[in-house]
Amino acid sequence: MSGPDLSARFLGNAAAAAAGAHSVSGTGDLLAALGRIVPAGSPVYCPGLTELEKAAAPLFPNRVADCMAAEVTVEEVFGAIAETGTIVCVSEGGRAVQAGLLPAHHVAIVRRDRIFATLDDLLAVVAGAPPTNITLVTGPSRTADIELTLAIGVHGPERLDVIVA
């Protein structure tokens, strides 16, 4: 499957899992999309570890240094899985995987070349030197109690937006 096909499949499956699904074609488009997605004035955690995060960070005047104080996390994630619309967060390079799980809104930036067709494809890439922690996230957090009452945002963010860049 080609890159554009993987991107389209990932975005379609992410949207089917109730995530906001966005595709951009450059840094300018990314910044415009973030301007539309992230509510103005929200406390934002953006680690600023990658070039895309460094470009995005100045957009957020209420940027916080700790994800526990944020309403929104904006971060570039390790990758994504097209067949399920899943984002892949890892604990390497100074990343804390809880950054995408604690705030109410997670905005995950995924590079097109980091979209894997299947879980097996992802595992083949990380098999040689797996990170300490891999978190797979498909859509916003949801759970149901014994009476099947659905609750959103109990065990993670109640809103997830993914941006393929």
The CATH number that applies at residue 99 is 3.40.50.10420
Considering its fold, how many domains does the chain have in total? Answer: 1
Going from the C-alpha of 129 to that of each of 6, 50, 87, 125, 143, the distances in angstroms are 25, 21, 19, 9, 32
What is the reported pLDDT for 57?
A: 97
Task: Kindly report, residue by residue over 41-59, the tens digit of the pLDDT.
Answer: 999 999 999 999 999 999 9
Going from the C-alpha of 70 to that of each of 15, 39, 62, the distances in angstroms are 24, 12, 9
Give the pLDDT band (50/70/90) at residue 157: confident
Asked if 29 contacts 56 with a C-beta cutoff of 8 angstroms, the reply is no
Asked if 164 contacts 12 with a C-beta cutoff of 8 angstroms, the reply is no
Asked if 135 contacts 89 with a C-beta cutoff of 8 angstroms, the reply is yes
Give the pLDDT band (50/70/90) at residue 152: low
Segments forming the whole domain that contains residue 150 = 3-164
**Taking CA 10 as the corner, what is the angle to CA 71 and CA 36, rounded to the nearest 5 degrees?**
40
Mean pLDDT of 24-45: 97
Give the pLDDT band (50/70/90) at residue 92: confident
